[in-house]
Structure 1
Amino acid sequence: MLTSNGYVLDERPERLGPLEPVPADERQDRDALWHRLRRDGYLYLPGHLPAREVLDFRRFYFSAMRGTGLVPDDDRAPAGIDAGEEIDRALLRRRLFEEIVPSAQYERLCTLPRIRNWFAWLLGDRVHLHRRRIIRHTRPGESGIGTATQAHYDLVYLREGTDRVLSLWIPLGDCPRQRGGLTYLEGSHRRVLREEAQGRLRRPAASITADLPALAEEHDARWLVTDYAAGDVVVHSAHIIHAALDNVDGTGTLRLSTDIRYQRAGDPIDWRWQNLWHDADGL
């Protein structure tokens, strides 16, 4: 059973479907990728990154979380197995925002040649990486409003820059659908583009809803899901609606992911996203 914020997804074929990977014969074809991105709103690229790099960062992240109650304080910590203890939230925030987010390890991951050079190739220009980059973990068994990322599209939060910014979502480790991967509302970018063109802007910035089944009914569309592996990524436009599933994995494994954003360096840049991410930054 798949859920998001406690809401059970409708698994009928007309409401749930597979995220389609980019075929091998299109991976090096820039025109084909742009056609697919405009048509679908996303590019699912299995094995795009070296799995070793992704897993190295996962081990770094959870090793840094020792002592917070999130992971065991022994050699099981780097694997990201939930300790099942009460979280020391003050210590966790210090570790996250003072040690992990500004770390050289995180900067290395976000600027891997396979990322930066690929975006420069796709965009055909010099590229800019937003400094505000978000890392999320989800404990198994967490549910209810606010535990998983609610349905939204990224442009709502990036009003001061170009709408041609592209997001890169990276599962940091294997992330089968039961572990709480990202899910996309099929074709929703077309409706969002129409609403944006009509000037129906969401202000202040806010998620759309936590009720994914109801939103699928409203759009008469499917939520698209898959089983992600370490090294997989999804590139998506600023207009497609997406959300996260709950972590209902029975193995006790924490879900970890990051989302970062690239754009052409010459396009308008949202100045609010040029500082390191912090949960008190007002965005």
Structure 2
Amino acid sequence: MFTSNGYTLDDSPARLGWIEPVPDSIRHDKDALWTRLRRDGYLYLPQQLDPDLVNSFREYYFTMLSDTGLVERGTNPAVGVGAAGELDRAMIRDVLFNGIVPGQRYEALTTHPDIKGWFEWFLGDGVHLHKRKIIRHIRPGESGIGTATQAHYDLVYLREGSERVLSMWIPLGDCPAEQGGLTYLEGSHHWAMADERDRGDRRPAASITADLPGLADKHDSRWLMANYKAGDVMVHSSYVVHASTDNVDLQNRVRLSTDIRYQRASEPIDWRWQEHWNEDDGL
């Protein structure tokens, strides 16, 4: 049973499915990948990154936050076992926004050749990484409105630049479906584009809904999930609707992920995304 923001997802085959990874046979075929991206709105690229690179950053992250009550003392930070009890949220904000987010380790991860180089190859041009990059951690057992990411598509937050921004979502460690990874509403980029282009319906900078099962019913569609492994990445268009589910991991691991955005440097860039992510940035 999967839940999100207080709603239980319908697990019938008509409403819930699994993301198909890009097959090895087309991993290096740019035209085939573009065809797939236009069709599905996303590309699931297993093992795009070295798992050791990802797990090393996971260990660094939880070590930096070891005094905040986020992870269980005496456990391996690379595992990220969630601790019970209260969090020192002020300390988390200080370490996150003043240490981790602007730090060299995060910059090195998000500009790694297997990321930046891939975008340069795929986009066929010089690329720009938006400075505003987001890291999220979700403890097991956290639930209710505002915990999981609500259904949305990224373009509503990037109105001042190109619509052809590509997001990359990176699970920082193994992230089975029970841990609450990213889930996509099948075919949603087609109707999202139609709403904006044909009827001029420009959605405001806000989520569509917290009611994931209701949205799937409305569009007669499925939410698609995956059992992500460290090293896997998702690349998706700015129109595809996505969200996350609650972390109900049986091993009590904290879900950790980051989402970053690349585009062609020659296209309009949203100036509001050119400072480091901060809780007070208004976006």
User: What TM-score does the superposition give when structure 2 sets the normalisation length?
Assistant: 0.98
Give the superposition deviation at 1:125: 0.2
Distance, in Å, in 2 between the alignment partners of 1:170 and 1:194 is 28
Distance, in Å, in 1 between the alignment partners of 2:166 and 2:117 is 14
- Pairing of 1:49-88 with structure 2 (within 5 A): 49-88=49-88
1:150 match: secondary structure: coil
Give the superposition deviation at 1:9: 0.7
Distance, in Å, in 2 between the alignment partners of 1:43 and 1:104 is 28
| 1:118-177 Cα distance to aligned partner (Å, 9 max, x none) | 100000000000000000000001110000000000000000000000000000000000
Unaligned 5+ residue runs, structure 2?
Answer: none
Show the counterpart of 2:177.
Answer: 177
| 1:245-268 Cα distance to aligned partner (Å, 9 max, x none) | 110112110000000000000000
Q: Which amino acid aligns with 1:206?
A: A
Show the counterpart of 1:245.
Answer: 245
Query: Is contact 2:139–2:254 with CA below 8 Å preserved after alignment?
Result: yes
Show the counterpart of 1:32.
Answer: 32
Distance, in Å, in 2 between the alignment partners of 1:44 and 1:6 is 27
| 1:12-42 Cα distance to aligned partner (Å, 9 max, x none) | 0010111011111110000000000001000
2:44 match: secondary structure: strand
Show the counterpart of 2:143.
Answer: 143
Unaligned 5+ residue runs, structure 1?
Answer: none
Q: Which amino acid aligns with 1:217?
A: D
Q: Which amino acid aligns with 1:138?
A: I
Distance, in Å, in 2 between the alignment partners of 1:248 and 1:75 is 19
The CA RMSD over aligned residues, in Å, is: 0.8
Distance, in Å, in 1 between the alignment partners of 2:195 and 2:138 is 32
Query: Is contact 2:120–2:127 with CA below 8 Å preserved after alignment?
Result: yes
**Which of structure 1's runs of 4+ aligned residues deviate more than 4 A?**
none
- Pairing of 1:121-270 with structure 2 (within 5 A): 121-197=121-197, 198-203=199-204, 205-270=205-270
Distance, in Å, in 2 between the alignment partners of 1:14 and 1:102 is 43
Q: Which amino acid aligns with 1:232?
A: D
2:224 match: secondary structure: strand
Give the superposition deviation at 1:81: 0.7
Give the superposition deviation at 1:66: 1.1
1:260 match: secondary structure: strand
Q: Count residues with an aligned counterpart.
A: 282
Give the superposition deviation at 1:72: 2.9
1:224 match: secondary structure: strand
Distance, in Å, in 1 between the alignment partners of 2:78 and 2:62 is 5
User: What TM-score does the superposition give when structure 1 sets the normalisation length?
Assistant: 0.98
Show the counterpart of 1:117.
Answer: 117
2:31 match: secondary structure: helix
Query: Is contact 2:22–2:45 with CA below 8 Å preserved after alignment?
Result: yes
- Does residue 91 (structure 1) correspond to residue 88 (structure 2)? The answer is no
Give the superposition deviation at 1:75: 4.7
Give the superposition deviation at 1:78: 3.8
1:231 match: secondary structure: coil
Give the superposition deviation at 1:74: 3.4
2:209 match: secondary structure: coil
Distance, in Å, in 2 between the alignment partners of 1:80 and 1:102 is 22
2:108 match: secondary structure: helix
Distance, in Å, in 1 between the alignment partners of 2:175 and 2:80 is 12
Give the superposition deviation at 1:199: 1.5
| 1:82-101 Cα distance to aligned partner (Å, 9 max, x none) | 11120111011001101100
1:79 match: secondary structure: coil
- Aligned-pair identity in percent equals 62
1:161 match: secondary structure: coil
Give the superposition deviation at 1:6: 2.2
Q: Which amino acid aligns with 2:200?
A: G
